[in-house]
Amino acid sequence: MGAVGDPSTVVDPDCRVVGVDGLRVVDAAVMPEIPRANTYWTTVMIAEDVAVLQ
């Protein structure tokens, strides 16, 4: 995840894959840093936030 104009960015802050229409990635790979807590619940919270966007 990164800035929209950054060429090394794969997904934008809304988890949309750059260059692919209609595809979002919601998993632990979108986290810029691995949390010290359980990654499962963090991933679930990201998924719930992205689900609200649609």
Q: Kindly report, residue by residue over 14-33, the tens digit of the pLDDT.
A: 888 888 999 998 888 888 88
Give the residue among 50, 4, 9, 6 at the shortest CA–CA distance from 27: 50
Tokens of 48: 């719930």
Using only C-alpha atoms, the chain has a radius of gyration, in whole angstroms, of 11
* Residue % of the chain over a pLDDT of 90: 13
Q: Is 31 helix (H, G, I), strand (E, B) or coil?
A: coil
Residue 54 has pLDDT above 70, yes or no: no
Question: How much is the pLDDT for 52?
Answer: 87
Tokens of 24: 């979002």
Question: Can you tell me the distance from the alpha carbon of 50 to that of 43, in angstroms, rounded to the nearest whole number?
Answer: 11
Q: What is the mean pLDDT of residues 27-53?
A: 86
* Residue % of the chain over a pLDDT of 70: 98
